[in-house]
Structure 1
Amino acid sequence: MSRRNSIVVTALVLPLALAPTAAHAGGKTGDGASLGDAQGSRQGKNITVETKVRTTVNGGTAGSGRTGNLSSADSSWTPPACWYEPAFSPKEIEATVKAWRSINGLPFLGSIGDFVGDMLDQRYKEGKPYKDYNLDKQGEGMFWAAAVNPNRKDDPEAMACDKPPFWVDNGQTPAEPLAVSPQILAEYAYDELPVPDTEIAMAPAGATKVNLPTWIWLDKAKFKKISVTASLPGTGLSATTTAEPVSLHIDPGTGDAQTYPASGDCEINGDGSIGEPYAAGKADDTPPCGVTYLRASAADGAYPLQATVTWKISWTSTTGEGGNLPEGTFGATQDVTVQEIQSVNR
């Protein structure tokens, strides 16, 4: 990023905190639009705005207890940390420059207002590259700015969107890979999927015995398909990302154990459940999903059994685009106490 662009971008940020007029946080421009959502990055090199993308949960987790967010099963892929979206009208850019010029004479600031105002005017007023803030195009487009995924604001990749606000006509798609799109919305919705906490049911519950099969299962009413729709108001762009549970992986927390199946991967049943609840008379049966511990846990300890559900992820959009995203996982750890079977010699 050039030093000149860095100054221009910082100049767009600072008046939101310093200027006493329309650019105050929460202030309004002449056309009633808010400038209060803009903020500077940690390095002060780019302008970011609070995203206007809105999400809606469809289906599933109401009343099901705690929820969490998925981790990508593909370690090389993560949802986007930032993107560009419509942010400022011409009048808002003009108001920002006026706000800067109004701070001249304030303590410790001197004539910095005119200096920064001149820098902004070079870009947005004097034809380099914009003329008169594009006021003649009011209503015909917007200046797009960087928006940071609120779930990933501490991700270094959030700094990848380092361009100062740029103009886009209504109905046009900017030649910018990180410009908001149905797929970016779908990937953002991935981060918003509230999957249920992976708390498995076990029998026997609490403590189990060495060489005694422990049955494990998940409630079909709790683990079911869920989706999130992400939309950007005023653009017609919308995408729905759907997560569907496909399997449960059991890691018993020790090498001295045997899982069922041997892989530890319990596939989902036709009715949507995973595994099978234990019932009387099945003591000698092999559980379809479970574990047998071969050694007792320490007297004052337990084995950390980890149960991880894998979710298949797909997406659709208002433009007809769609496809699959990397599978997601979400798990939890439960302590399992394993005791020796006591016997009495007569």
Structure 2
Amino acid sequence: MPVSGSRRVLLGTGALTLLLSVLVLTEPAYATGPTGKDKGADTEQSGGGDSTSIYAAAKIQYSGAVTKTGGTGNVTSSDVNWTPPPCWYAPYLGAKDFKKEMSGQIEGAKNTPGMGGTAGAAIGEMQRHYEDEYGWTDTPGYKDYNVDKDGEGMFWAAVENPDEPDVLKRSSCNDLPFWVDNGDTPPARYEEAIKPEILAALAYQRMQLPDTKVTLAPEAATKVNLPTWAWLDKAVFDEVQATAAINVPGFGIQATTTAKPVSLKLEPGTTDAETFPASGQCAINADNSIGRPYAKGDADKTPPCGIRYLHSSGDGVFKLRATITWKISWTGTGGAGGDLPDGTFGTTQDVTVQEIQAVNR
């Protein structure tokens, strides 16, 4: 029996929040395993957030150069306005399993002391929504939890990104679980429904980039006013890939995010220094290396990538920071793909700078 108006208007914000918090499921579990190249791990994620959130049963599987646990990777987006998705909708349970889970939770909530008034009415509306086809203009109801269609589709539910620190953003996917037939896509109004673009962003978030320790010459200590050569060999400096996938009966998508190094930025750790080139940005060479190794006879030459310190570091050291900029792109199921904001990752290393000692005769 559909009724006019939005489900949010009819129930109100507080009541809708109550409905979503009725489903109290287990905390997410993680599993890890090596990839074979020591560049990351395969992980499985079942959700995230606090214990009153809805978690989708469908796991996101990560592989390639990704973090080995549920934390975020070390890549930072160069676009300060870009953030990974805080939440999404994903396949949750088949009809019979959903009925068992939901009906049990509803009965438990109804028998909780104090569940009267608006709260009790909200729980009653949700029960009728899944049992007696009680719906809204944009959300049809269901007859007996769709058990007559068991095996022909799944109920989808909200998932919170466990790595999103903002609780309000993380819980912004606040629609009730909804049914999707096998082979179909969720209705257009569910903009946050899991899709290759979302998986690509999550793979980006977990991507683990290699350390950026540059080779220096002189290696142990450099001298004031003498050029210090810096370079990265192509063997250390290659593209990195991370994949996120989700596969359940009747639904499967994946996306692979690829990071390619494009430049190295040198920050000497002091204002009393010059960089080569002057911008401090060393471009990548045709063979995927950066800079050029120091060779005998280069003492009087200007390095294509390097630093000249103008003062000594005294009894301490200068903190040289080397930051790689990575061009990020992705490809996914159905030929989808595109670009994501460039990523950066930098590390610091100690540099000792000594005065040139003059000998008086």
Q: TM-score, normalised by structure 1?
A: 0.81
Number of paired residues? 317
**Does structure 2 retain, via aligned residues, the 8 Å contact 1:104–1:111?**
no
1:181 matched to 2:195? The reply is: yes
Give the secondary structure class of the aligned counterpart of 2:352.
Answer: strand
- Alignment correspondent of 1:64: none
Partner of residue 76, structure 1 = 81
* Superposed CA offset, 1:147-182 (max 9, x none): 233443667532222222122222222221111111
Counterparts of 2:311 and 2:321, CA distance in 1: 17
- 1:125-152, CA deviations, whole angstroms, 9 ceiling, x for partnerless residues? 1222222111122122211112233443
Match of 2:276 among 257, 260, 279: 260
Please state whether the residue corresponding to 2:23 is helix, strand or coil. Answer: helix
Residue 124 (structure 1) shift:
1.6
Structure 1 residue 222 corresponds to structure 2 residue 239: no
Q: In the alignment, residue 143 of structure 2 is paired with which amino acid?
A: K
Identity of aligned residues (%): 50
Q: Compared with structure 1, are the counterparts of its residues 323 and 126 closer, same or farther at alpha carbon in structure 2 (3 Å cutoff)?
A: same
- Coordinate RMSD, CA, aligned: 3.1
Alignment correspondent of 1:47:
54
Work out the CA distance in 2 between the residues paired with 1:155 and 1:185. Answer: 21
Q: CA deviation at 1:232?
A: 1.1
- Please tell me whether residue 209 in structure 1 is matched to residue 209 in structure 2: no
Hey, what's the Cα distance between the residues in 2 that align with 1:196 and 1:149?
24
* Amino acid across the alignment from 1:292: R
Q: Which residue of 2 aligns with 1:20?
A: none
Task: Write the mapping of 1:1-346 to structure 2, written as runs, cut at 5 A.
Answer: 2-13=13-24, 16=25, 41=50, 44=52, 46-49=53-56, 52-57=59-64, 69-100=74-105, 118=124, 120-128=126-134, 129-152=141-164, 156-174=168-186, 175=188, 176-234=190-248, 235-297=251-313, 299-346=314-361
Q: For the structure 1 residues 319 and 153, does the alpha-carbon distance in structure 2 shift closer, same or farther, using more than 3 Å as the test?
A: farther
- CA separation of 1:25 and 1:265: change in aligned 2, threshold 3 A: closer
TM-score, normalised via structure 2 length? 0.78
Q: Does structure 2 conserve the Cα–Cα contact (< 8 Å) formed by 1:81 and 1:155?
A: no
Secondary structure class of the residue paired with 1:152: coil
Cα displacement (A) at 1:98 = 4.5
Consecutive unaligned residues of structure 1, counting only runs of 5 or more, are: 18-23, 27-36, 62-66
For residues 94 and 272 of structure 1, the distance between their equivalents in structure 2, rounded to whole angstroms, comes to: 56
Shift of 1:69: 2.5
Tell whether the 8 Å contact from 1:250 to 1:264 is kept in structure 2 after alignment: yes
Over 3 Å counting, the alpha-carbon distance change for 1:159 and 1:300 in structure 2 is farther
Amino acid at match of 1:282: D
Query: CA offset at residue 301 of structure 1?
Result: 2.2
- Residues in 2 aligned to 1:269 and 1:25: alpha-carbon distance in whole angstroms: 44
Q: Note the alpha carbon deviations across 1:304-329, whole angstroms, 9 max, x for none.
A: 21100011111112211111111110
Structure 2 unmatched runs, 5+: 1-7, 30-45, 135-140
Q: Kindly tell me: are residues 274 and 38 of structure 1, through their superposed partners in 2, closer, same or farther at Cα, counting changes over 3 Å?
A: closer
Asked if the contact 1:247/1:309 (under 8 Å) is kept, the reply is yes
1:160 partner SS = coil
Could you report, residue by residue, the CA deviation over 1:25-64 in whole angstroms, capped at 9, with x for unpaired residues? 99xxxxxxxxxx577637x4x4234661112217x99xxx
Cα 1:40–1:118 change in 2 (3 A) is: farther
